[in-house]
C-alpha cells in the first residue's frame, strides 16, 4: 500500500482488507485478532471527526542513527525488537542520544503504552501540543516501567505552558515509589546543548529535574543514573 493509504488507515479514515489487516498485525505485532482490528477500525471511522488517537508524525532520522551506532549493543541487552519498532514510529526524539536513551529504558523492562499525563492527575502546568494548542483528551505515546514498588511512566517531548512561557521537556515522568507519588522532568544534554536558559526554565517550572549528559547516554548508563539521581532528589526534598 502507498503511504497516504497507510496514513488513512492509522487515522481511522479507511478500513483494511482482511489480507492487509493480517499483514499489518504481523508487522506491528498486534496483540488482537484481525476481526477485532476490523471492528475497532469501524468504530474509528464512525468517529472520524474525533482525533484523540491521532499521534504526531515522528522524524525517523534520529532513530535510524541510534540504531546504526548502538543497535548491536541494545540487542545484547535484550532490547525487544517489536517494542523498538513501535518506538521508532511513535516516540518523539530530537536527537540520536534521546532515542538511545529510550532504547536503554526499554532494555530495562519498560513497555510501550498510550495515555495522557492528565489521566495520572498532572495539574502542575498546562499541557499543550507542538502548535501550542491545549492537549485536551488527546493521548500521547510513552513507556511504562514497573519493578517492585517502583513505577515510572515516561512521556517524551512534552510541552508545558507556564504563566509566561511554554517549555518543552525531553521527558515528563510520573513516579510512584511505595506510597510516594510525584512528577519530574528529564533533560538530556547533548554536545550542542546551551545551558544559559536552564536556570530560568527551572525557576519557572518549579519541578524536580534530572539531567543526563550525552556522554552518560553513550556509555549506556543513562537509566541507572536516572534512578540514582531520582532517589537523590527524593532524599534531598525529604531533608
Query: 129 and 27, same structural domain?
Result: no
- The pLDDT value recorded for residue 119 is 86
Three-class DSSP labels, 139-197: CEEEEEEEECCEEEEEEEEEEEECCCCEEEEEEEEEEEECCEEEEEEEEEECCCCCCCC
Grid coordinates given for 4:
497516504
Q: Which domain holds residue 166?
A: 79-238
Q: Is 129 domain-assigned?
A: yes
Query: 97 and 42, same structural domain?
Result: no
Query: 222 and 123, same structural domain?
Result: yes
Query: 234 and 190, same structural domain?
Result: yes
pLDDT band at 50; cut points 50, 70, 90:
very low
Task: Label residue 159 left, alpha or beta by phi (over 0 means left) and psi (-120 to 50 means alpha).
Answer: beta
Q: Is 70 domain-assigned?
A: no
- pTM score of the predicted model: 0.77
Query: 41 and 155, same structural domain?
Result: no
Please give the backbone phi and psi of residue 128, each rounded to the nearest 5 degrees, phi first: -130, 165
Q: Is 18 domain-assigned?
A: yes
155 within 8 A of 138, measured Cβ to Cβ: no
pLDDT at 37 over 50: no
Query: 83 and 20, same structural domain?
Result: no
- The pLDDT value recorded for residue 139 is 84
Query: 200 and 114, same structural domain?
Result: yes
Question: What are the angstrom distances between the C-alpha of 44 and each of 12, 41, 129?
Answer: 5, 5, 22
Q: Is 54 domain-assigned?
A: no
Quick: pLDDT tens for 6-15: 877 766 566 6
Which residue(s) pair with 61 in the sheet? none
Q: How many domains does the chain have?
A: 2
Quick: pLDDT tens for 101-113: 999 999 999 999 8
Burial 217-235 (b: 16+ CB within 10 A, else e): bbebebbebbbebbeebbe
Amino acid at each position: 500500500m502507498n503511504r497516504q493509504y497507510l496514513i488513512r488507515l492509522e487515522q481511522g479514515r479507511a478500513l483494511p482488507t482482511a489480507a492487509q489487516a493480517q499483514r499489518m498485525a504481523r508487522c506491528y505485532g498486534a496483540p488482537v485478532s484481525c476481526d477485532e482490528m476490523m471492528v475497532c477500525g469501524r468504530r474509528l471511522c464512525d468517529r472520524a471527526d474525533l482525533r484523540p488517537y491521532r499521534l504526531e508524525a515522528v522524524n525517523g532520522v534520529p532513530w535510524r542513527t541510534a540504531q546504526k551506532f548502538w543497535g548491536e549493543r541494545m540487542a545484547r541487552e535484550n532490547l525487544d525488537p517489536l517494542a523498538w519498532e513501535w518506538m521508532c514510529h511513535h516516540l518523539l526524539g530530537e536527537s540520536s542520544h534521546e532515542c538511545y536513551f529510550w532504547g536503554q529504558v526499554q532494555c530495562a523492562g519498560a513497555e510501550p503504552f498510550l495515555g495522557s499525563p492528565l489521566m495520572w492527575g498532572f495539574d502542575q502546568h498546562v499541557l499543550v501540543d507542538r502548535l501550542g494548542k491545549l492537549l485536551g483528551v488527546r493521548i500521547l505515546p510513552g513507556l511504562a516501567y514497573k519493578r517492585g514498588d517502583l513505577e515510572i511512566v515516561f512521556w517524551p517531548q512534552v510541552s508545558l505552558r507556564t504563566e509566561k512561557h511554554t517549555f518543552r521537556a525531553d521527558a515528563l515522568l510520573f513516579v510512584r515509589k511505595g506510597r510516594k507519588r510525584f512528577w519530574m522532568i528529564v533533560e538530556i544534554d547533548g554536545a550542542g546543548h546551551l545551558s544559559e536558559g536552564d536556570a530560568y526554565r527551572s525557576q519557572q517550572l518549579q519541578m524536580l529535574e534530572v539531567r543526563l549528559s550525552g556522554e552518560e547516554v553513550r556509555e549506556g548508563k543513562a537509566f541507572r543514573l536516572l534512578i540514582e539521581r531520582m532517589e537523590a532528589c527524593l532524599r534531598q526534598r525529604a531533608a
